[in-house]
Structure 1
């Protein structure tokens, strides 16, 4: 259902390793897939691939790729399983020195993983932004986060869509999530010739919900570690680390 690859990489070239290199990594990945898959993702309302490039606390370079439905897994897992190098346009070459794979095999597993989550830390490792009424929103709110995650879930997890025609369920979940603590800073993402305003940092969320709404909120926040949050998660934005406190 969902597979996430976390690949530690090294590079010998003297280039600045920035989050924005994720865009070129994604282009390289698509070039190795069947042409039909490229056509498929361009037709999807929600692309079932989330990927980003992050730097860990020790300076290690991590390429994180989440495949969010069975089609993406079928087409890209064989490519990623065999990949030992990433050769980008322009000559930069990354060597993959370690590869970890995490899997979620069912919706039930996802719901169970987020059960009894009351205090949750979200760390945004690459610039993150949302969009509302055609405008960029570069500050997070519970409404923006929940809306983004439900959109991704419904666009990728066909087995169990979240049915909420009037939007009241989404509002109820967002109303029950309280920002207990946050440290945020502005951070832009440069994509081609565009500068997208966003933020990085961390938020501690307290889940005041009960019953199924609480379980669903926990599952959605756990899902964020795979899907990312906000816009352009396929192109490197919105990387999220999720920790239960």
Structure 2
């Protein structure tokens, strides 16, 4: 599994476009193998997640790549020395000059170490970077829900580990018995996709696990994977990005 971050220069300090991740996904898919994209649609499993963030000077496109096939194809696109700009005709800024490319990996070996060797804590502060929502019984849910959140992460991890999104329901039940949301600060936010929108939530929530060390380690690797894949619906179009707030980061802010 790999995350690629493409940093591009902005033409002004103004916010670029609320649909930027959607436009970027369309641009990227147009450069990938059509047969591979068709397989994604047929199976309902998309090993590609995207989200966008920006500051006054730059915009960053974050790509989470879950399998070797999509990693290879995306690398070919961005390793091309002629790939110096990203053209998004539907965006208010049409051309984005690439100024930096970064990548990081999360290997099966590293995940195994974190599960079998490390001793994860039972407390995690999860930042919801882009609007998150879940779909349950045909309806969108836009409030933090432990079961729907963990179920989404388990599907991502199971796909990464076994190539399928079929999860162990007993394990999910066990997680839900021992994991709870102990605090949150969120707000609702619409996420626009083409001519429609999905209402999601942003902010942060705190997960507390009171189970065994094995369960705590499993929760931690789910969250680690989630930083690459996102959680909930429409993660390939920019929704559901998460980051773990490390204790030193939180403590530093508190001291300030």
TM-score with structure 2 setting the length: 0.85
1:203 equivalent in structure 2: 205
2:11 equivalent in structure 1: 12
1:154 equivalent in structure 2: 158
Which structure 1 segments of 5+ residues have no match?
A: none
CA gap 1:125/1:238 in 2 versus in 1, 3 angstroms: same
1:68 equivalent in structure 2: 66
Q: Quote how far apart the aligned CAs of 1:160 are.
A: 9.1
Q: Quote how far apart the aligned CAs of 1:215 are.
A: 1.5
Residues 19, 52 of structure 1: 8 Å contact kept: no
Residues 68, 157 of structure 1: 8 Å contact kept: no
Deviations 1:150-205 (CA, angstroms, capped at 9, x unpaired):
122223432698751xx121021122222232110010111111121111101122
CA gap 1:60/1:202 in 2 versus in 1, 3 angstroms: farther
Helix, strand or coil: the match of 1:41?
helix
CA gap 1:182/1:22 in 2 versus in 1, 3 angstroms: same
1:124 equivalent in structure 2: 128
Residues 127, 203 of structure 2: 8 Å contact kept: yes
Helix, strand or coil: the match of 1:169?
helix
Q: Quote how far apart the aligned CAs of 1:217 are.
A: 1.0
Deviations 1:77-119 (CA, angstroms, capped at 9, x unpaired):
221333432101247111222221010121x412434641322
1:49 equivalent in structure 2: 48
Q: How many residues were matched structurally?
A: 240
Deviations 1:13-33 (CA, angstroms, capped at 9, x unpaired):
787423421011011111122
Which structure 2 segments of 5+ residues have no match?
A: 248-256
The 2-side partners of 1:216 and 1:162 are apart by 17
Helix, strand or coil: the match of 2:211?
coil
Residues 18, 53 of structure 1: 8 Å contact kept: no
2:250 equivalent in structure 1: none
Residues 20, 53 of structure 1: 8 Å contact kept: no
2:31 equivalent in structure 1: 32
* Greater mean deviation of Cα atoms: 221-230 or 76-85: 76-85
Within-5 A mapping of 1:135-154: 135-154=139-158
* Greater mean deviation of Cα atoms: 83-92 or 221-230: 83-92
Q: Quote how far apart the aligned CAs of 1:222 are.
A: 0.9
CA gap 1:94/1:38 in 2 versus in 1, 3 angstroms: same
Following TM superposition, the consecutive aligned residue runs of length 4 or more in structure 1 with deviations greater than 3 angstroms are 13-16, 111-115, 159-163
TM-score with structure 1 setting the length: 0.88
1:100 equivalent in structure 2: 102
2:22 equivalent in structure 1: 23
2:219 equivalent in structure 1: 217
The 1-side partners of 2:111 and 2:166 are apart by 13
Identify the match of residue 235 of structure 1 among 234, 237, 241. 237
Residues 123, 240 of structure 1: 8 Å contact kept: yes
CA gap 1:125/1:163 in 2 versus in 1, 3 angstroms: closer
